[in-house]
Amino acid sequence: EGMNAQDLGKILHREPAEIVKKLFMLGVMTNQNQSLDKDTIELLAAEYGIESEEKVHEDISDIDNLYTKEMEASKESKNQVKRPPVVTIMGHVDHGKTTLLDRLRHTNVSEHEAGGITQSIGAYQVRLDDRLITFLDTPGHAAFSNMRARGAEITDIVVLVVAADDGVMPQTIEAIDHAKSAQVPIIVAVNKIDKPGANPDHVMEQLMKYGLVPEDWGGDTIFVKISAKTGENVDDLLQMILLQADVMELQADPQQKAIGTVVEARLDKGRGPVADLLVQQGTLKIGDPIVIGDTYGRVRVMTNDKGRRVKKATPSTPVEITGLNDVPSSADKLVVFDDEKTARSVGEQRAKNALEKQRENVQHVTLDNLFDTMKRENMKEVDIVLKADVQGSAEALQQSLEKIDVEGVRVNIIHSGVGAINESDVTLAGASNAFIIGFNVRPTATAKSQAESDNVDIRLYNIIYKAMDDVEAAMKGMLEPTY
Protein backbone atom coordinates (compact mmCIF):
# COMPACT_ATOMS: atom_id res chain seq x y z
CA GLU A 1 0.00 0.00 0.00
CA GLY A 2 1.02 3.55 -0.50
CA MET A 3 3.03 2.44 -3.52
CA ASN A 4 2.40 3.64 -7.02
CA ALA A 5 3.41 2.48 -10.48
CA GLN A 6 6.72 4.33 -10.23
CA ASP A 7 7.68 2.55 -7.02
CA LEU A 8 6.64 -0.80 -8.42
CA GLY A 9 8.62 -0.08 -11.56
CA LYS A 10 11.70 0.32 -9.44
CA ILE A 11 11.10 -2.87 -7.50
CA LEU A 12 10.24 -4.91 -10.58
CA HIS A 13 12.91 -3.25 -12.71
CA ARG A 14 10.41 -2.06 -15.33
CA GLU A 15 9.51 1.30 -16.75
CA PRO A 16 6.63 2.92 -14.84
CA ALA A 17 4.82 3.36 -18.15
CA GLU A 18 4.98 -0.35 -18.72
CA ILE A 19 3.47 -0.96 -15.29
CA VAL A 20 0.63 1.43 -16.03
CA LYS A 21 0.01 -0.33 -19.33
CA LYS A 22 0.09 -3.74 -17.74
CA LEU A 23 -2.39 -2.63 -15.10
CA PHE A 24 -4.63 -1.26 -17.82
CA MET A 25 -4.67 -4.68 -19.48
CA LEU A 26 -5.59 -6.15 -16.11
CA GLY A 27 -8.48 -3.76 -15.89
CA VAL A 28 -6.97 -1.27 -13.44
CA MET A 29 -6.95 2.36 -14.51
CA THR A 30 -4.17 4.30 -12.90
CA ASN A 31 -1.38 6.74 -13.55
CA GLN A 32 2.23 6.64 -12.42
CA ASN A 33 1.65 8.54 -9.22
CA GLN A 34 -1.61 7.15 -8.01
CA SER A 35 -1.12 4.86 -5.06
CA LEU A 36 -2.32 1.29 -5.51
CA ASP A 37 -4.02 -1.03 -3.10
CA LYS A 38 -2.58 -4.29 -1.88
CA ASP A 39 -4.72 -6.47 -4.14
CA THR A 40 -3.60 -4.62 -7.24
CA ILE A 41 0.03 -4.93 -6.24
CA GLU A 42 -0.36 -8.65 -5.71
CA LEU A 43 -2.16 -9.02 -9.00
CA LEU A 44 0.66 -7.27 -10.75
CA ALA A 45 3.32 -9.24 -8.95
CA ALA A 46 1.61 -12.48 -9.94
CA GLU A 47 1.48 -11.23 -13.52
CA TYR A 48 5.23 -10.81 -13.50
CA GLY A 49 5.60 -14.20 -11.88
CA ILE A 50 7.39 -12.75 -8.91
CA GLU A 51 6.98 -13.51 -5.28
CA SER A 52 6.75 -9.88 -4.51
CA GLU A 53 6.62 -10.50 -0.78
CA GLU A 54 10.29 -10.08 -0.09
CA LYS A 55 10.92 -7.17 -2.39
CA VAL A 56 7.88 -5.31 -1.21
CA HIS A 57 9.21 -6.01 2.23
CA GLU A 58 12.55 -4.44 1.46
CA ASP A 59 10.70 -1.35 0.44
CA ILE A 60 8.63 -0.98 3.61
CA SER A 61 11.72 -1.18 5.75
CA ASP A 62 12.62 2.19 4.25
CA ILE A 63 10.73 4.10 6.89
CA ASP A 64 12.23 7.43 5.85
CA ASN A 65 10.43 6.92 2.59
CA LEU A 66 7.17 5.95 4.30
CA TYR A 67 7.47 8.97 6.54
CA THR A 68 8.04 11.30 3.59
CA LYS A 69 5.09 9.79 1.78
CA GLU A 70 2.73 10.39 4.67
CA MET A 71 4.07 13.92 4.96
CA GLU A 72 3.43 14.51 1.26
CA ALA A 73 0.04 12.82 1.36
CA SER A 74 -1.15 15.24 4.00
CA LYS A 75 -0.61 18.14 1.63
CA GLU A 76 -3.13 16.66 -0.80
CA SER A 77 -5.56 15.62 1.88
CA LYS A 78 -9.02 17.14 2.13
CA ASN A 79 -9.10 16.40 5.85
CA GLN A 80 -6.49 18.96 6.78
CA VAL A 81 -7.11 21.05 9.84
CA LYS A 82 -5.07 23.73 11.59
CA ARG A 83 -2.35 22.33 13.79
CA PRO A 84 -0.43 24.00 16.62
CA PRO A 85 2.93 25.54 15.64
CA VAL A 86 6.09 23.90 16.97
CA VAL A 87 8.49 26.46 18.41
CA THR A 88 12.17 26.38 19.36
CA ILE A 89 13.63 29.12 21.53
CA MET A 90 17.13 30.31 20.66
CA GLY A 91 19.50 33.06 21.69
CA HIS A 92 22.73 33.93 23.39
CA VAL A 93 23.59 32.40 26.75
CA ASP A 94 21.99 34.19 29.73
CA HIS A 95 19.60 36.13 27.54
CA GLY A 96 16.68 34.35 29.17
CA LYS A 97 15.78 31.24 27.14
CA THR A 98 15.31 28.98 30.15
CA THR A 99 13.46 31.65 32.10
CA LEU A 100 11.09 32.11 29.18
CA LEU A 101 10.53 28.36 28.80
CA ASP A 102 9.79 28.09 32.52
CA ARG A 103 7.49 31.07 32.45
CA LEU A 104 5.58 29.63 29.48
CA ARG A 105 5.37 26.22 31.09
CA HIS A 106 3.50 27.79 33.98
CA THR A 107 1.43 30.12 31.84
CA ASN A 108 -2.14 29.24 30.99
CA VAL A 109 -2.02 26.01 32.87
CA SER A 110 -5.37 25.59 34.54
CA GLU A 111 -5.60 24.73 38.22
CA HIS A 112 -6.37 21.04 37.86
CA GLU A 113 -3.44 20.55 35.54
CA ALA A 114 -0.98 22.24 37.82
CA GLY A 115 -0.05 19.03 39.61
CA GLY A 116 1.36 17.43 36.53
CA ILE A 117 3.39 20.22 35.03
CA THR A 118 6.74 19.10 36.33
CA GLN A 119 6.66 16.29 33.81
CA SER A 120 9.48 16.69 31.32
CA ILE A 121 8.84 14.98 28.01
CA GLY A 122 11.03 17.04 25.70
CA ALA A 123 8.27 19.41 24.67
CA TYR A 124 5.13 20.90 26.12
CA GLN A 125 2.05 22.77 25.02
CA VAL A 126 0.77 26.15 26.05
CA ARG A 127 -2.82 27.25 25.53
CA LEU A 128 -3.96 30.72 24.52
CA ASP A 129 -7.58 31.48 23.66
CA ASP A 130 -8.28 27.82 23.03
CA ARG A 131 -5.38 27.43 20.69
CA LEU A 132 -2.24 25.49 21.44
CA ILE A 133 1.45 26.16 20.85
CA THR A 134 4.06 23.43 21.19
CA PHE A 135 7.43 24.40 22.64
CA LEU A 136 10.47 22.20 22.37
CA ASP A 137 12.06 22.05 25.78
CA THR A 138 15.69 22.07 24.69
CA PRO A 139 16.56 25.63 23.78
CA GLY A 140 19.42 26.71 21.57
CA HIS A 141 20.67 26.20 18.06
CA ALA A 142 22.90 23.22 18.88
CA ALA A 143 19.94 20.97 19.67
CA PHE A 144 18.05 22.41 16.71
CA SER A 145 20.85 21.69 14.28
CA ASN A 146 21.62 18.27 15.73
CA MET A 147 18.08 17.27 14.96
CA ARG A 148 18.37 18.75 11.50
CA ALA A 149 21.66 17.00 10.84
CA ARG A 150 19.86 13.74 11.54
CA GLY A 151 17.11 14.61 9.13
CA ALA A 152 14.50 15.88 11.56
CA GLU A 153 12.88 19.19 10.79
CA ILE A 154 10.22 19.66 13.40
CA THR A 155 10.48 23.35 14.24
CA ASP A 156 8.02 25.68 12.51
CA ILE A 157 8.99 28.94 14.20
CA VAL A 158 12.09 30.14 16.03
CA VAL A 159 11.73 32.61 18.87
CA LEU A 160 15.01 34.48 19.12
CA VAL A 161 15.57 35.82 22.60
CA VAL A 162 17.81 38.90 22.81
CA ALA A 163 18.45 40.61 26.14
CA ALA A 164 17.68 44.31 25.89
CA ASP A 165 20.52 45.17 28.26
CA ASP A 166 23.11 43.17 26.35
CA GLY A 167 22.16 43.34 22.69
CA VAL A 168 23.24 41.15 19.81
CA MET A 169 25.95 38.68 20.81
CA PRO A 170 27.85 35.91 18.96
CA GLN A 171 25.30 33.20 19.70
CA THR A 172 22.50 35.52 18.65
CA ILE A 173 24.08 35.66 15.22
CA GLU A 174 24.67 31.92 15.16
CA ALA A 175 21.04 31.32 16.03
CA ILE A 176 19.92 33.60 13.21
CA ASP A 177 22.12 31.72 10.76
CA HIS A 178 20.87 28.34 11.89
CA ALA A 179 17.25 29.40 11.62
CA LYS A 180 17.86 30.99 8.23
CA SER A 181 19.60 27.97 6.78
CA ALA A 182 16.66 25.86 7.91
CA GLN A 183 14.32 28.45 6.38
CA VAL A 184 12.42 28.71 9.62
CA PRO A 185 10.89 32.14 10.30
CA ILE A 186 12.16 34.09 13.30
CA ILE A 187 10.14 36.03 15.83
CA VAL A 188 12.32 38.26 17.98
CA ALA A 189 11.62 38.43 21.71
CA VAL A 190 13.50 41.41 23.08
CA ASN A 191 13.83 40.28 26.68
CA LYS A 192 14.61 41.81 30.07
CA ILE A 193 12.74 45.04 29.35
CA ASP A 194 12.14 45.30 33.10
CA LYS A 195 15.83 45.98 33.66
CA PRO A 196 16.97 49.57 34.24
CA GLY A 197 19.62 49.42 31.51
CA ALA A 198 17.29 47.93 28.92
CA ASN A 199 17.43 49.45 25.46
CA PRO A 200 15.08 47.52 23.16
CA ASP A 201 15.41 49.97 20.28
CA HIS A 202 19.14 49.40 20.20
CA VAL A 203 18.55 45.66 19.81
CA MET A 204 16.16 46.35 16.94
CA GLU A 205 18.72 48.56 15.23
CA GLN A 206 21.44 45.97 15.67
CA LEU A 207 19.29 43.22 14.19
CA MET A 208 18.59 45.19 11.01
CA LYS A 209 22.09 44.27 9.93
CA TYR A 210 21.01 40.63 9.92
CA GLY A 211 17.90 41.22 7.88
CA LEU A 212 15.52 41.25 10.82
CA VAL A 213 13.57 44.47 10.35
CA PRO A 214 10.49 45.29 12.42
CA GLU A 215 7.20 45.84 10.63
CA ASP A 216 7.04 49.42 11.93
CA TRP A 217 10.30 50.10 10.17
CA GLY A 218 9.16 48.63 6.87
CA GLY A 219 10.31 45.06 7.41
CA ASP A 220 8.43 41.86 8.01
CA THR A 221 9.90 40.53 11.24
CA ILE A 222 7.73 40.36 14.32
CA PHE A 223 9.32 41.87 17.43
CA VAL A 224 7.83 41.58 20.90
CA LYS A 225 9.31 43.35 23.91
CA ILE A 226 8.99 41.09 26.91
CA SER A 227 10.16 40.30 30.37
CA ALA A 228 10.47 36.57 30.91
CA LYS A 229 11.02 37.33 34.56
CA THR A 230 7.89 39.38 35.28
CA GLY A 231 5.81 37.87 32.49
CA GLU A 232 5.16 41.24 30.89
CA ASN A 233 3.93 40.88 27.28
CA VAL A 234 4.53 37.15 27.26
CA ASP A 235 0.91 36.68 26.16
CA ASP A 236 1.59 39.07 23.28
CA LEU A 237 4.44 36.86 22.25
CA LEU A 238 2.10 33.85 22.20
CA GLN A 239 -0.39 35.86 20.17
CA MET A 240 2.30 36.73 17.64
CA ILE A 241 3.39 33.10 17.38
CA LEU A 242 -0.20 32.15 16.55
CA LEU A 243 -0.40 34.96 14.03
CA GLN A 244 2.77 33.74 12.35
CA ALA A 245 1.36 30.19 12.38
CA ASP A 246 -1.77 31.45 10.61
CA VAL A 247 0.33 33.18 7.98
CA MET A 248 2.19 29.91 7.44
CA GLU A 249 -1.09 28.00 7.24
CA LEU A 250 0.24 25.15 9.34
CA GLN A 251 -2.04 22.20 8.79
CA ALA A 252 -2.16 18.48 9.26
CA ASP A 253 -4.49 15.60 8.58
CA PRO A 254 -5.41 13.90 11.86
CA GLN A 255 -7.06 11.02 9.99
CA GLN A 256 -4.10 9.60 8.14
CA LYS A 257 -1.51 7.20 9.48
CA ALA A 258 0.49 8.78 12.25
CA ILE A 259 4.08 9.83 11.70
CA GLY A 260 6.30 11.52 14.23
CA THR A 261 9.82 12.26 15.39
CA VAL A 262 11.64 11.33 18.58
CA VAL A 263 12.71 14.32 20.66
CA GLU A 264 14.36 12.33 23.46
CA ALA A 265 14.58 8.69 24.51
CA ARG A 266 15.86 6.81 27.51
CA LEU A 267 15.76 3.55 29.39
CA ASP A 268 13.53 3.65 32.42
CA LYS A 269 14.34 1.10 35.09
CA GLY A 270 10.73 0.12 35.65
CA ARG A 271 9.09 0.87 32.32
CA GLY A 272 11.76 -0.11 29.83
CA PRO A 273 12.48 1.99 26.76
CA VAL A 274 10.69 5.34 26.83
CA ALA A 275 10.44 7.71 23.88
CA ASP A 276 9.32 11.33 23.94
CA LEU A 277 8.02 12.16 20.55
CA LEU A 278 6.18 14.71 18.57
CA VAL A 279 3.28 13.50 16.47
CA GLN A 280 3.39 15.33 13.14
CA GLN A 281 0.62 13.87 11.02
CA GLY A 282 -2.27 11.59 11.77
CA THR A 283 -3.33 10.44 15.20
CA LEU A 284 -1.20 8.09 17.23
CA LYS A 285 -3.25 5.66 19.30
CA ILE A 286 -2.69 3.19 22.08
CA GLY A 287 -1.95 -0.21 20.59
CA ASP A 288 -0.63 1.12 17.27
CA PRO A 289 2.09 -1.17 15.86
CA ILE A 290 5.08 1.10 15.29
CA VAL A 291 8.62 1.27 14.06
CA ILE A 292 10.87 4.04 15.39
CA GLY A 293 14.33 4.18 13.87
CA ASP A 294 15.67 0.66 14.37
CA THR A 295 13.25 -0.22 17.16
CA TYR A 296 9.71 -1.57 17.07
CA GLY A 297 6.75 -2.37 19.28
CA ARG A 298 3.26 -1.22 20.11
CA VAL A 299 2.21 1.96 21.83
CA ARG A 300 1.57 0.61 25.30
CA VAL A 301 1.23 3.62 27.58
CA MET A 302 0.99 7.15 26.22
CA THR A 303 1.41 10.14 28.54
CA ASN A 304 1.00 13.81 27.73
CA ASP A 305 3.05 16.78 28.92
CA LYS A 306 0.80 17.21 31.97
CA GLY A 307 1.64 13.70 33.10
CA ARG A 308 -1.75 12.33 32.14
CA ARG A 309 -2.39 9.10 30.34
CA VAL A 310 -3.97 9.67 26.95
CA LYS A 311 -5.44 7.29 24.40
CA LYS A 312 -4.52 9.27 21.33
CA ALA A 313 -2.31 12.11 20.19
CA THR A 314 -3.12 14.46 17.32
CA PRO A 315 -0.65 16.47 15.15
CA SER A 316 1.89 18.69 16.99
CA THR A 317 1.19 16.91 20.27
CA PRO A 318 4.19 15.81 22.33
CA VAL A 319 3.74 12.50 24.10
CA GLU A 320 5.81 10.00 25.97
CA ILE A 321 5.31 6.40 24.96
CA THR A 322 6.38 2.98 26.20
CA GLY A 323 6.19 -0.38 24.48
CA LEU A 324 9.33 -0.45 22.35
CA ASN A 325 11.81 -3.32 22.23
CA ASP A 326 14.81 -1.00 22.52
CA VAL A 327 15.71 2.64 23.06
CA PRO A 328 15.52 4.71 19.85
CA SER A 329 17.65 7.80 19.20
CA SER A 330 16.51 11.39 19.12
CA ALA A 331 15.50 12.50 15.62
CA ASP A 332 14.44 8.93 14.75
CA LYS A 333 11.25 8.79 12.76
CA LEU A 334 8.09 7.02 13.81
CA VAL A 335 5.80 5.24 11.37
CA VAL A 336 2.72 3.13 12.07
CA PHE A 337 2.09 -0.25 10.48
CA ASP A 338 -1.14 -2.19 10.02
CA ASP A 339 -0.08 -5.11 12.15
CA GLU A 340 2.45 -5.95 14.77
CA LYS A 341 4.05 -8.72 12.78
CA THR A 342 5.05 -6.37 9.97
CA ALA A 343 6.30 -3.75 12.42
CA ARG A 344 8.40 -6.38 14.13
CA SER A 345 9.97 -7.75 10.97
CA VAL A 346 10.69 -4.25 9.67
CA GLY A 347 12.21 -3.28 13.02
CA GLU A 348 14.35 -6.39 13.14
CA GLN A 349 15.50 -5.92 9.58
CA ARG A 350 16.48 -2.34 10.30
CA ALA A 351 18.37 -3.29 13.46
CA LYS A 352 20.24 -5.94 11.52
CA ASN A 353 21.12 -3.53 8.74
CA ALA A 354 22.32 -0.97 11.27
CA LEU A 355 24.49 -3.57 12.95
CA GLU A 356 26.01 -4.63 9.67
CA LYS A 357 26.80 -1.04 8.84
CA GLN A 358 28.58 -0.67 12.14
CA ARG A 359 30.55 -3.84 11.50
CA GLU A 360 31.86 -2.56 8.21
CA ASN A 361 34.25 -0.13 9.80
CA VAL A 362 35.64 -1.84 12.85
CA GLN A 363 39.06 -3.09 13.84
CA HIS A 364 40.05 -6.10 15.93
CA VAL A 365 41.31 -6.18 19.48
CA THR A 366 40.54 -7.91 22.80
CA LEU A 367 40.88 -6.52 26.28
CA ASP A 368 42.64 -9.50 27.83
CA ASN A 369 45.67 -9.16 25.63
CA LEU A 370 45.16 -5.52 24.86
CA PHE A 371 48.68 -4.44 25.65
CA ASP A 372 50.31 -7.36 23.79
CA THR A 373 47.98 -6.97 20.84
CA MET A 374 48.67 -3.27 20.72
CA LYS A 375 52.39 -3.92 20.43
CA ARG A 376 52.18 -6.93 18.16
CA GLU A 377 49.78 -5.39 15.70
CA ASN A 378 51.11 -1.90 16.01
CA MET A 379 47.59 -0.74 16.80
CA LYS A 380 46.62 2.85 16.60
CA GLU A 381 43.18 2.44 18.13
CA VAL A 382 41.46 0.46 20.87
CA ASP A 383 37.84 -0.39 20.06
CA ILE A 384 35.11 -0.18 22.67
CA VAL A 385 31.36 -0.69 22.67
CA LEU A 386 29.79 1.68 25.15
CA LYS A 387 26.39 1.42 26.79
CA ALA A 388 24.99 3.77 29.43
CA ASP A 389 21.73 4.45 31.21
CA VAL A 390 21.26 7.91 29.72
CA GLN A 391 22.49 9.71 26.64
CA GLY A 392 24.30 12.30 28.72
CA SER A 393 26.50 9.73 30.49
CA ALA A 394 27.20 7.93 27.25
CA GLU A 395 28.40 11.16 25.70
CA ALA A 396 30.44 12.22 28.73
CA LEU A 397 32.15 8.84 28.98
CA GLN A 398 32.77 8.70 25.26
CA GLN A 399 34.42 12.09 25.35
CA SER A 400 36.56 11.13 28.35
CA LEU A 401 37.65 7.82 26.85
CA GLU A 402 38.48 9.37 23.53
CA LYS A 403 40.85 11.73 25.28
CA ILE A 404 43.01 8.84 26.45
CA ASP A 405 46.24 8.69 24.55
CA VAL A 406 48.86 6.07 25.39
CA GLU A 407 51.89 6.66 23.23
CA GLY A 408 49.80 7.59 20.24
CA VAL A 409 47.24 4.82 20.68
CA ARG A 410 43.72 6.08 21.12
CA VAL A 411 40.29 4.82 22.05
CA ASN A 412 37.71 4.38 19.34
CA ILE A 413 34.09 3.99 20.40
CA ILE A 414 32.65 1.80 17.67
CA HIS A 415 29.18 1.90 19.10
CA SER A 416 27.61 3.92 21.84
CA GLY A 417 24.07 3.56 23.03
CA VAL A 418 21.56 3.86 25.81
CA GLY A 419 20.15 0.80 27.56
CA ALA A 420 21.11 -2.63 28.82
CA ILE A 421 23.99 -4.42 27.12
CA ASN A 422 22.21 -6.71 24.67
CA GLU A 423 23.05 -9.53 22.30
CA SER A 424 23.72 -7.21 19.42
CA ASP A 425 26.32 -5.36 21.49
CA VAL A 426 28.05 -8.65 22.28
CA THR A 427 27.88 -9.76 18.66
CA LEU A 428 29.34 -6.48 17.53
CA ALA A 429 32.11 -6.56 20.12
CA GLY A 430 32.87 -10.20 19.35
CA ALA A 431 33.03 -9.59 15.63
CA SER A 432 35.42 -6.72 16.09
CA ASN A 433 37.33 -7.93 19.14
CA ALA A 434 36.24 -4.90 21.01
CA PHE A 435 35.34 -4.97 24.66
CA ILE A 436 32.21 -3.60 26.22
CA ILE A 437 31.86 -0.93 28.86
CA GLY A 438 28.57 -0.61 30.68
CA PHE A 439 27.94 2.54 32.66
CA ASN A 440 25.09 2.19 35.18
CA VAL A 441 23.71 -0.61 33.03
CA ARG A 442 24.08 -4.36 33.02
CA PRO A 443 23.97 -7.07 30.39
CA THR A 444 20.73 -8.92 29.79
CA ALA A 445 20.79 -12.61 30.77
CA THR A 446 21.21 -13.76 27.17
CA ALA A 447 23.86 -11.15 26.46
CA LYS A 448 25.76 -12.29 29.52
CA SER A 449 25.82 -15.96 28.53
CA GLN A 450 26.67 -15.08 24.95
CA ALA A 451 29.56 -12.94 26.15
CA GLU A 452 30.83 -15.82 28.25
CA SER A 453 30.76 -18.28 25.38
CA ASP A 454 32.23 -15.77 22.91
CA ASN A 455 34.90 -14.57 25.32
CA VAL A 456 33.76 -11.02 25.07
CA ASP A 457 34.84 -8.88 27.97
CA ILE A 458 32.18 -6.80 29.66
CA ARG A 459 33.23 -4.22 32.22
CA LEU A 460 30.67 -2.45 34.37
CA TYR A 461 31.20 0.93 35.97
CA ASN A 462 29.30 3.61 37.76
CA ILE A 463 32.12 6.12 38.05
CA ILE A 464 33.53 7.70 34.91
CA TYR A 465 37.10 8.13 36.09
CA LYS A 466 37.25 4.48 37.18
CA ALA A 467 36.37 3.40 33.67
CA MET A 468 39.01 5.75 32.27
CA ASP A 469 41.65 4.49 34.71
CA ASP A 470 41.02 0.85 33.79
CA VAL A 471 41.16 1.45 30.08
CA GLU A 472 44.29 3.49 30.38
CA ALA A 473 45.91 0.85 32.61
CA ALA A 474 44.97 -1.91 30.16
CA MET A 475 46.54 0.04 27.36
CA LYS A 476 49.72 0.38 29.38
CA GLY A 477 49.70 -3.32 30.22
CA MET A 478 49.09 -2.60 33.88
CA LEU A 479 45.49 -3.67 34.33
CA GLU A 480 44.82 -5.62 37.52
CA PRO A 481 43.39 -8.99 36.63
CA THR A 482 39.74 -9.53 37.60
CA TYR A 483 38.42 -12.87 38.83
Sequence ranges of the binding site for GTP:
91-98, 137-141, 191-194
**What gap in Å lies between CA 216 and CA 41, rounded to an integer?**
58
- With binding defined as CB under 6 A, does residue 167 bind ligand GDP? no
The nearer residue to ligand GDP, 64 or 232, going by C-beta atoms, is 232
Q: How far is the CB of 305 from ligand GDP (least distance, A)?
A: 20
Contact 164, 200 (CB under 8 A): yes
The nearer residue to ligand GDP, 65 or 99, going by C-beta atoms, is 99
Of residues 54 through 93, those in contact with ligand GDP by CB under 6 A are 91, 93
The nearer residue to ligand GDP, 20 or 157, going by C-beta atoms, is 157
Stretch that binds ligand GDP, among 51-59, 186-194, 319-327, 444-452 (CB under 6 A): 186-194
Exactly one of 35, 65, 98, 358 binds ligand GDP (CB under 6 A); that residue is 98
Stretch that binds ligand GDP, among 173-181, 188-196, 327-335, 425-433 (CB under 6 A): 188-196
What does the buried/exposed string (b/e) look like for 416-453 if buried means 16 or more CB atoms within 10 Å of the residue's CB? bbbbbbbebbbbbbbbbbbbbbbbbbebbeebeebbee
Q: How far is the CB of 192 from ligand GDP (least distance, A)?
A: 4
Stretch that binds ligand GDP, among 97-105, 116-124, 238-246, 403-411 (CB under 6 A): 97-105
- With binding defined as CB under 6 A, does residue 96 bind ligand GDP? yes
Q: How far is the CB of 198 from ligand GDP (least distance, A)?
A: 8
Q: How far is the CB of 100 from ligand GDP (least distance, A)?
A: 7
Exactly one of 47, 113, 153, 194 binds ligand GDP (CB under 6 A); that residue is 194
The nearer residue to ligand GDP, 86 or 228, going by C-beta atoms, is 228
**What gap in Å lies between CA 285 and CA 301, rounded to an integer?**
10
- With binding defined as CB under 6 A, does residue 229 bind ligand GDP? yes
* Cα separation values, 26 from 3, 15, 30, Å: 18, 17, 11
Stretch that binds ligand GDP, among 191-199, 315-323, 360-368, 451-459 (CB under 6 A): 191-199
Contact 279, 123 (CB under 8 A): no
Contact 288, 311 (CB under 8 A): no
* Cα separation values, 110 from 117, 324, 464, Å: 10, 32, 43
Q: How far is the CB of 374 from ligand GDP (least distance, A)?
A: 44
- With binding defined as CB under 6 A, does residue 200 bind ligand GDP? no
The nearer residue to ligand GDP, 97 or 178, going by C-beta atoms, is 97
* Max CA pair span of the chain: 80
The nearer residue to ligand GDP, 83 or 95, going by C-beta atoms, is 95
Q: How far is the CB of 150 from ligand GDP (least distance, A)?
A: 24
- With binding defined as CB under 6 A, does residue 228 bind ligand GDP? yes
Q: How far is the CB of 222 from ligand GDP (least distance, A)?
A: 18
Contact 326, 273 (CB under 8 A): yes
The nearer residue to ligand GDP, 234 or 471, going by C-beta atoms, is 234
Q: How far is the CB of 170 from ligand GDP (least distance, A)?
A: 13
- With binding defined as CB under 6 A, does residue 192 bind ligand GDP? yes
Spell out the residues 6+ positions from residue 51 whose beta carbon is closer than 8 angstroms to its own: 45
Nearest 10 degrees: Cα torsion 438, 441, 446, 451: 10
Spell out the residues 6+ positions from residue 288 whose beta carbon is closer than 8 angstroms to its own: 258, 298, 299, 336
Q: Site size for ligand GDP, by CB under 6 A? A: 15
Q: How far is the CB of 139 from ligand GDP (least distance, A)?
A: 6
Q: How far is the CB of 171 from ligand GDP (least distance, A)?
A: 9
| Residue 25, Cβ density class (10 Å: 0-12 exposed, 13-18 middle, ≥19 buried) | exposed
- Residues contributing to the annotated binding site: 91-98, 137-141, 191-194
Stretch that binds ligand GDP, among 187-195, 208-216, 243-251, 294-302 (CB under 6 A): 187-195
| Residue 226, Cβ density class (10 Å: 0-12 exposed, 13-18 middle, ≥19 buried) | buried
Stretch that binds ligand GDP, among 189-197, 299-307, 355-363, 449-457 (CB under 6 A): 189-197
Residue 208 identity (one-letter amino acid): M
Contact 4, 36 (CB under 8 A): yes
- With binding defined as CB under 6 A, does residue 225 bind ligand GDP? no
- With binding defined as CB under 6 A, does residue 95 bind ligand GDP? yes
The nearer residue to ligand GDP, 141 or 192, going by C-beta atoms, is 192
**What does the binding site for ligand GDP look like in residue numbers (CB under 6 A)?**
91, 93-99, 191-192, 194-195, 227-229
